[in-house]
């Protein structure tokens, strides 16, 4: 059974702090990794799609890196703002031919003003 | 607003019944994905259609079925409903069939089975 783990489960930071979370996945098979931002009572919003080892993607104050050889991806938020409060979810697609997305349980971020 | 629409927004029904959830993808998108999010589980992939054909199947129960029509809208049919089917059902769409494509999620349909 393939497992995708995200850490920490939840996080409280002060406005202006920078923070990062981890998504860990099996390193033996890799096709793609997606990051989503999911605000309460809304639907998941795509942040990044990462496909190559060493990929680095950036959108405003949020960036992500990918290491497929060791099986992890980091999501960084620079200068957190209260509007960054959300659950950050990663979804892993193994190159197993089944095309089954495997979601992590998310990191719940709360940015305190 | 992602451009993906789902109807209805809420649905309350009884055990044993059958319901149909509807999804219209973003204009131009050919793939539709269905996901289930129940209280005790995270987001689970159910099924993907690409241009009318089933492309990938996830953890979809035999009581559930889906299809994508020529106008690319999709329907998820849930039958013989059980209490445990109560969940938020999301539809997402993407331009192509590849899983590396960005997926855009709809607002979801909340199903309550009493």
Q: Is B58 on the interface with A (CB under 8 A)?
A: yes
pLDDT at A96: 61
CB contact under 8 A, B100 and A106: no
CB contact under 8 A, A91 and B43: yes
Q: How far is CA A62 from the centre of its chain?
A: 10
B51/B74 Cα distance (integer angstroms):
10
pLDDT at A99 over 70: no
**Tell me: the pLDDT tens digits for A61-86?**
999 999 999 999 999 999 999 999 99
DSSP letters, B17-82, are --EEEEEEPPTT--EEEEEEE-TTS-EEEEEEEETTEEEEE-S--TTEEEEE-TTS-EEEEE-S--
The CA-atom distances, in angstroms, between B114 and each of A4, B12, B61 are 32, 7, 19
**Tell me: the pLDDT tens digits for A14-36?**
999 999 999 999 888 888 999 99
In A, which residues are within 8 Å of B45 by CB distance? 100-101, 103
User: Nearest-CA residue of chain A relative to B2?
Assistant: A45
Q: Is B75 on the interface with A (CB under 8 A)?
A: no
pLDDT at A90: 96
pLDDT at A98 over 80: no
Backbone angles phi, psi at A104, to 5 degrees: -80, 175
pLDDT class of B36 with cuts at 50, 70, 90: very high
CB contact under 8 A, A34 and B48: no
Q: Which two tokens stand for residue A12?
A: 């409280």
């Amino acid at each position: 059974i393939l497992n995708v783990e995200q850490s920490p489960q939840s996080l409280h930071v002060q406005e202006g702090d920078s923070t990062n979370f981890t998504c860990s996945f099996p390193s033996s098979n890799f096709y793609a990794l997606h990051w989503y931002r999911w605000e309460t009572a809304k639907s998941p919003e795509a942040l990044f799609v990462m496909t190559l080892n060493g990929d680095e993607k950036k959108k405003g104050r949020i960036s992500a890196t990918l290491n497929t050889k060791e099986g992890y991806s980091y999501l960084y938020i620079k200068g957190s703002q209260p509007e960054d409060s959300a659950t950050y979810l990663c979804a892993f697609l193994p190159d197993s031919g089944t095309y089954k997305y495997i979601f992590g349980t998310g990191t719940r971020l709360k940015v305190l003003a | 607003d992602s451009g993906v629409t789902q109807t209805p927004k809420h649905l309350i029904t009884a055990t044993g019944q059958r319901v149909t959830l509807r999804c219209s993808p973003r204009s131009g998108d050919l793939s539709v994905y269905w996901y289930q999010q129940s209280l005790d589980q995270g987001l689970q992939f159910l099924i993907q259609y690409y241009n009318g054909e089933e492309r990938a199947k996830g953890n979809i129960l035999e009581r559930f079925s889906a299809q994508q029509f020529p106008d690319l809208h999709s329907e998820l049919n849930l039958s013989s409903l059980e209490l445990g089917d109560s969940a938020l059902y999301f539809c997402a769409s993407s331009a192509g069939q590849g899983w590396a494509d960005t997926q855009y999620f709809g607002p979801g349909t909340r199903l309550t089975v009493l």
